[in-house]
Amino acid sequence: MIDHRPRQDQYRELLETDNPVDVSLIKDILDSNGINYYFKGELFNVIQPWTDPSRLMIREDHLERARSLLQSVKLRYWNVATARKGRRPDVPSPQ
């Protein structure tokens, strides 16, 4: 039996979102460009969106391409990980 689950050590977090519309839009963009990714906590986000946002995990060798694809997309996400560290998110939020 082949295990198709992604190895977590090969993936890095790009952003977090509590918005299911953002998740759908991001999936469309990444799927159409052949980017390997998964959303960590996507199903739990439906139950408690503000306490546990979905985390976009991108395969390391696709990270820069995914970042550039999502740079111009207007998302309604928030990025707790970078906000806590005083850095701005990798993908800009809407003005």
Tens digit of each residue's pLDDT (9 = 90 or more) over 20-44: 888 999 999 999 999 999 998 876 6
pTM: 0.68
3-class secondary structure, 12: strand
What's the pLDDT at 87?
Answer: 42
Q: What are phi and psi of 79, to 5 degrees?
A: -125, 95
Query: Which span out of 10-19, 49-58, 59-68 was modeled with the highest average pLDDT?
Result: 59-68
pLDDT in tens, 58-73: 999 999 999 999 988 8
> Domain segments of the chain: what residues?
8-84
What's the pLDDT at 93?
Answer: 45
Domain spanning 8-84: CATH superfamily: UreE, C-terminal domain (3.30.70.790)
Do the beta carbons of residue 53 and residue 17 sit within 8 Å?
Answer: yes
